[in-house]
Structure 1
Amino acid sequence: MKNFRRLVILAMLALTGASFSTLLAEKTRTPEGVGVDQKLSAQIPLDTEFYNEKGEKVKLDSFFQSGRMPVILAPSYFECPRLCTLVFNGLSKAMNQMGKSGLKPGKDYRAISLSFNPEDTPKLAREKGDRYRSTIKSQKVTEEGWEFLTGDRESIHAVLDSVGYSYKKDTEGSFSHPAAIILITPEGKVSSYLFGFDYNPTDMRLALVEASSGKIGSLTDAVLLTCFRFDPQKGKYTTDVMNVMKIMALVVIAFLVGLVIFLYRKERNT
């Protein structure tokens, strides 16, 4: 009898778990027409105009410093109650960590949070910008380093279509959208994508260094980029086994050559 009761309880728990999993899957399923179609090397329209936090019209080109800085493009909308907040927090956290290692927004790269809600205003953009920039404690960040932009529907679509970022407005006035940021080269071409909202500072740093073609970063970054490669499917950097093996082989060869020279000189001196 006890065994029968246990079986009944286990069956009920299994059914409850399955029902919950199904409900959760349905609740978190990405709506149709929402997602990211990666367009690596695609050119974004730099002549597109938006409004900065002061309400001034600016061309997207002005944020690329005439081909000098890579840019982090973070699509969002400023009254988003959930996902965008996580993206903002994740971005500020990663920027804070990168600042500690010497990569500074406004000097080495720029970040742009671009609202895809044409009803968002420069005033709201300023409020969001001030709030999230202040969370970066490793350095003082101004809008030169992280700007929040608003614009009209046509301009928004032009840029987000060029990077393959799709979103949808629901019946309640909110937006369904993916959690992703796009790394853009100083020339305005898509370099890579980072997904989710908990961004690994090392991945973001490597993505920026790679997007800049080595114009920023250190010798260590250059070595790391030799050992790691960006995986578009995973949206992160993974070990490049072949390159690691090549580097190890070169180290071994250099060691053996050095050892032979050392032994040869030692023998001559005796």
Structure 2
Amino acid sequence: MIPGVVIAAAPFIAALFIAAPASGQMTGAPTPGYRQAPGLPASSMPAPLREIGFDQHLDQPLPLDAAFRDEQGRTVRIGEYFGARPVVLAFVYYQCPMLCTQVLSSITSTLGVMNLDAGKDFELVMVSFDPRETPAQASDKKAEYLARYQRPGAEAGWHFLTGDQESIARLTKAAGFRYVWDEPTKQFAHPTGVIVVTPDGRPARYLFGIEYGPRDLRLAIVEASSGAIGSLVDELLLFCYHYNPETGRYGLVIMRTLRIAGVATVLAIGAFVAVMVRRERRTTAAAADPSAHRIP
């Protein structure tokens, strides 16, 4: 029984150590659009960039009564998408010429390689922060990204919303999303990232930037669900990987990984000793039994 446990655990332990260097690189990767570089004077930054940011309001309730319009033009409360599953929330605007498209594309590609399903394991809610945008534009975006995602049932679990300035301001302020209109470029200056929210509407994890690794997004969803979804491997990964709010990523906790490796090593040695002791006893018993050497 013990050898089987050791053999089953060996690939997992190996994978943790193989992933460790890559994880370290990801944790230190730049996260564009939400934080000023260390040592850079605020006065040296363009005026719009000094006003934007992503303030982490972890475990603070979102205004679930805020009213928006879905892709069909129906008035909905944001809370309608909460209650049963974690929610992956992103603030975008559908006519954004650059960053928002990258955010949506990254979400789609990451979800495409995960074995968790939108509409079954979690909800996806994209909220436009441009009050001029319409349900028709939201509908077009939804159709575009559903065609890329191609996961059965996703239509009921991926929502593209628009709203008025009051509702947008309430939700973005509660989530810590700060953005400004830049008149010279006729565009919004805004941070990039996604928020993974608990079923009762409290931000659990912020993932910054325009790329979201499948491991990071999956672990954030599993954590936000409080164990309602995920596997034993997810639980082991969460033991070895720790969310860093400064980077918005999960990093390897070396000491925890070493503990698991140590336990696996002890189990392997114990299993080897047990096998050798049993073999030695059988050999001794056979040598001491005269009938074993008797010629019929």
Shorter chain as normaliser: what TM range? 0.7 to 0.9
Instruction: Specify the alignment match of 1:201 in structure 2.
Output: 214
- Asked whether the 8 Å contact 2:118–2:158 carries over to 1, the reply is yes
- Asked whether the 8 Å contact 1:94–1:201 carries over to 2, the reply is yes
- Asked whether the 8 Å contact 1:133–1:141 carries over to 2, the reply is no
Distance 1:268 1:29, change over 3 A: farther
Structure 1 position 266, deviation (Å) = 3.4
Is 1:61 the counterpart of 2:61 in the alignment? no
TM-score w.r.t. structure 1 length?
0.82
Instruction: Specify the alignment match of 1:85 in structure 2.
Output: 101
Of 62, 70, 90, 1:44 maps to 62
Deviations 1:69-127 (A, max 9, x none): 111111011111111111111111111121xxx21111111111101111111111111
Aligned residues with identical type, % of pairs: 38
Aligned ranges 1:62-141 → 2 under 5 Å = 62-64=80-82, 66=83, 68-98=84-114, 102-137=115-150, 139-140=151-152
Q: Which runs of 5+ in 1 are unaligned?
A: 1-25
Higher mean C-alpha deviation, range 157-166 or range 257-266: 257-266
DSSP-derived class of the 2:125 partner: strand
Is 1:191 the counterpart of 2:207 in the alignment? no
Letter paired with 2:201: G
- Asked whether the 8 Å contact 1:111–1:145 carries over to 2, the reply is yes
How many residues align structurally?
239
Of 269, 274, 277, 1:261 maps to 274
Instruction: Specify the alignment match of 1:180 in structure 2.
Output: 193
What root-mean-square deviation, in Å, do the aligned CA atoms of Structure 1 and Structure 2 show? Answer: 1.9
Structure 1 position 28, deviation (Å) = 7.9
Instruction: Specify the alignment match of 1:4 in structure 2.
Output: none
Instruction: Specify the alignment match of 1:243 in structure 2.
Output: 256
Q: Which runs of 5+ in 2 are unaligned?
A: 1-43, 285-296
Name which one, 1 or 2, has greater alpha-carbon Rg.
2
Instruction: Specify the alignment match of 1:11 in structure 2.
Output: none
Of 154, 157, 181, 1:145 maps to 157
Letter paired with 1:210: E
Distance 1:28 1:246, change over 3 A: farther
Distance in 2 (alpha carbons) for counterparts of 1:29 and 1:180:
21
Letter paired with 2:245: P
Distance in 2 (alpha carbons) for counterparts of 1:143 and 1:118:
24
- Asked whether the 8 Å contact 1:134–1:141 carries over to 2, the reply is no
Structure 1 position 141, deviation (Å) = 5.2
Deviations 1:171-220 (A, max 9, x none): 25421101111111112111111111122122111111111122122222
Letter paired with 1:235: G
Structure 1 position 29, deviation (Å) = 8.3
Higher mean C-alpha deviation, range 50-59 or range 251-260: 251-260
Distance in 2 (alpha carbons) for counterparts of 1:56 and 1:131:
20
Structure 1 position 265, deviation (Å) = 3.2
Distance in 2 (alpha carbons) for counterparts of 1:185 and 1:241:
28
